[in-house]
């Protein structure tokens, strides 16, 4: 089997077949933004559907949620994003390498630069940074840096029509906080008991320093996140559960085993809230065949709910500060925080606690890209190259294509009727144009698992040809069994 090695081939296929286009292309394009075309939106929706089905619908212990992208500014104060979602960066005047100021080493220091949190941008800017003794990690030149400049990672926007009294808001950098903010609501209304999870799929926005590789890292992207709440002490167990469950989800939907792996985070690269974190990585065909993150599974402990309890206690300060979160400090944690408003009462054990949270957080766009790349194949058929996408049926944009062999003898009418029947249950596509072989190959490149052809024999014995995408094999099926058999093959 021919192996795809270049991202360019994927980009070109995506354009040619209407999976993914550059955003605002007629105006020269907008960096890092992409649009999903007719086939692409089906694929992406199917990825989301498959995730939702697996994480929410087939389970008894997970419910769904769909939160707004704009949230109360205090959410980001409490979560730590407002303070920490920014970097100070300085640039080496010699080689133009940009480095986080807090990562720069003294020229005499022998230890490696430590991984540190993002810094409070106002505080960091207020202090003076003496970079004269710092070494450029690239070229080794000492003390030749520009003034540190802030790098804001959250998108800002204004809320309120009147510019004078509008409020600066942030587009959410993750969907997770909407879930934490609704923990109480779901608990009170959904008749759930710990352990249980709340899932959400939606857009998030991060002003990344650098975007990368087609739709792999974009500033606007879609996440599928689950916050699974469990009793402290059972968190390691649930962490393992979700780690396995999420890994298998990719395999079950067609990702080849050799292209998927786990990568444990080292202690020093863990986020401020996490006790443990493992990435599910896919071997993408960009870079030097680099493994890249598809999804992170993290143990967020009780950090977020405790922070929001502090946030709730800070609300008065927020009003007093006239809505400027940079001017306020988060209230201290209550002594008996575990009995606070976001605590959980365990009726069996008769005790209150703040649950721990296991968070599988997947990137929908990069997953869709991985499914695309992994499904792509080229093979030699009678001296010609056949391009195809071996999508799992659940992810395939079109499930079945229906063709009349020729445009006469009533074949188009029969084919149309069959196609319309199919459409009630799944996405089907009718095509009567051109040679039959060409129509098959077109569907191969769209990843359609099955093609049905109405031919001369159909008129005689009411059977049709079923053609398999992967093997190109053909079998005859009686018309009256067609829908049942197809639905069984597709699993839908």
Partner RNA sequence: GCGGGCGUAGCUCAGUGGUAGAGCGUCACGUUGCCAACGUGAAUGUCGUGAGUUCAAAUCUCAUCGCCCGCUCCA
Q: Which of 206, 253, 300, 313 binds RNA (CB under 7 A)?
A: 206
Decide whether 98 or 241 has the Cβ nearer to RNA: 98
Decide whether 3 or 433 has the Cβ nearer to RNA: 433
- The region of 250-258, 312-320, 350-358, 383-391 touching RNA under the rule CB under 7 A is 383-391
Decide whether 213 or 312 has the Cβ nearer to RNA: 213
Decide whether 225 or 344 has the Cβ nearer to RNA: 225
Vertex 299 angle, CA 295 and 302, to 5°: 135
Segment (H or E) for 230 = strand 220-230
8 binds RNA (CB under 7 A): yes
Q: Give the SS3 label for residue 133.
A: coil
Query: Is 364 in contact with 201 (CB distance < 8 Å)?
Result: yes
Decide whether 274 or 334 has the Cβ nearer to RNA: 274
What residues from 423 to 462 belong to the interface with RNA (CB under 7 A)? Answer: 433-438, 440-442, 444-445, 453, 455-457
- The region of 45-53, 59-67, 88-96, 478-486 touching RNA under the rule CB under 7 A is 88-96
326 binds RNA (CB under 7 A): no
For 242, phi then psi, to 5°, come to: -75, -35
Mask 265-304, x = binds RNA (CB under 7 A)? ----xxxx-------------xxx-x--------------
Query: Is 427 in contact with 42 (CB distance < 8 Å)?
Result: yes
Decide whether 107 or 212 has the Cβ nearer to RNA: 212
Query: Is 307 in contact with 79 (CB distance < 8 Å)?
Result: yes
- Could you tell me the smallest distance in angstroms from the CB atom of residue 241 to RNA? 23
Q: Give the SS3 label for residue 15.
A: helix
**b/e string for 192-224 if b means 16 or more Cβ within 10 A?**
bebbbbbbbbbebbbbeeebebbbbbbbebbbb
Tokens found for residue 345: 């009462």
Decide whether 7 or 192 has the Cβ nearer to RNA: 7
139 binds RNA (CB under 7 A): no
19, 198, 228, 248, 428 from 235: Cα distances, Å: 40, 16, 9, 20, 44
- The region of 205-213, 247-255, 321-329, 349-357 touching RNA under the rule CB under 7 A is 205-213
- Could you tell me the smallest distance in angstroms from the CB atom of residue 133 to RNA? 18
Angle formed by the axes of helices 7-16 and 364-375, to 10°? 100
Q: Which of 70, 190, 406, 492 binds RNA (CB under 7 A)?
A: 406
Alpha-helical runs (H) found in 296-363: 303-312, 315-320
15 binds RNA (CB under 7 A): yes
140 binds RNA (CB under 7 A): no
Q: Give the Cα separation of 137 and 92 in Å (integer).
A: 9
11 binds RNA (CB under 7 A): yes
């Amino acid at each position: 089997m021919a192996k795809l090695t270049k991202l360019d081939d994927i980009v070109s296929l995506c354009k040619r077949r209407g999976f993914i286009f550059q955003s605002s292309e007629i105006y020269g394009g907008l960096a890092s933004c992409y649009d999903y075309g007719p086939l692409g939106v089906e694929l992406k929706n199917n990825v989301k559907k498959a995730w939702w089905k697996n994480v929410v619908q087939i389970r008894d212990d997970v419910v769904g949620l769909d939160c707004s992208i704009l949230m109360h500014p205090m959410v980001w104060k409490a979560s730590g994003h407002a303070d920490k979602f920014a970097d100070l960066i300085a640039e080496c005047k010699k080689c133009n390498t940009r480095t986080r100021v807090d990562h720069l080493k003294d020229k005499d220091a022998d230890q490696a630069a430590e991984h540190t949190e993002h810094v409070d941008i106002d505080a960091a800017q207020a202090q003076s940074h003496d970079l004269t003794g710092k070494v450029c990690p690239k070229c080794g030149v000492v003390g030749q840096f520009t003034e540190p400049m802030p790098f804001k990672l959250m998108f800002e926007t204004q809320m309120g029509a009147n510019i004078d009294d509008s409020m600066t808001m942030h587009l959410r950098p993750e969907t997770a906080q909407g879930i934490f903010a609704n923990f109480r609501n779901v608990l009170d209304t959904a008749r759930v008991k710990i352990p249980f999870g709340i899932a959400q799929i939606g857009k998030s926005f991060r002003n990344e320093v650098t975007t990368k590789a087609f739709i792999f890292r974009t500033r606007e992207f879609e996440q599928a996140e689950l916050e699974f709440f469990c009793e402290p002490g059972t968190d390691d167990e649930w962490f393992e559960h979700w780690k396995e469950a999420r890994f298998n989800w990719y395999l079950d939907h067609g990702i080849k085993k050799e292209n998927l792996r786990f990568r444990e985070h080292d202690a020093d690269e863990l986020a401020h809230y996490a006790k443990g974190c493992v990435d599910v990585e896919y071997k993408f065909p960009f870079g030097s065949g680099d493994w890249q993150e598809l999804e992170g599974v993290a143990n967020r402990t009780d950090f977020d709910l405790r922070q929001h309890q502090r946030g709730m206690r800070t609300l008065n300060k927020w009003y007093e500060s006239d809505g400027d979160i940079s001017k306020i400090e988060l209230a201290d944690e209550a002594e008996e925080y575990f009995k606070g408003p976001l605590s959980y009462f365990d009726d069996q054990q008769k005790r209150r606690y703040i649950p721990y949270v296991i968070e599988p957080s997947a990137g929908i766009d990069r997953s869709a890209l991985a499914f695309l790349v992994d499904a792509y194949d080229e093979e030699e058929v009678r001296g010609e190259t056949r391009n195809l996408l071996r999508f799992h049926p659940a992810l395939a944009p079109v499930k079945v294509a229906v063709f009349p062999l020729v445009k006469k003898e009533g074949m188009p009418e029969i084919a149309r009727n069959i196609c319309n029947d199919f459409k009630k249950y799944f996405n089907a596509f009718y095509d009567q144009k051109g040679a039959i072989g060409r129509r098959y190959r077109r569907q191969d490149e769209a990843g359609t698992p099955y093609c049905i052809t109405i031919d001369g024999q159909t008129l005689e014995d009411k059977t049709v040809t079923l053609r398999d995408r992967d093997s190109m094999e053909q079998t005859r099926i009686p018309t009256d069994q067609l829908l049942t058999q197809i639905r069984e093959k597709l699993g839908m």
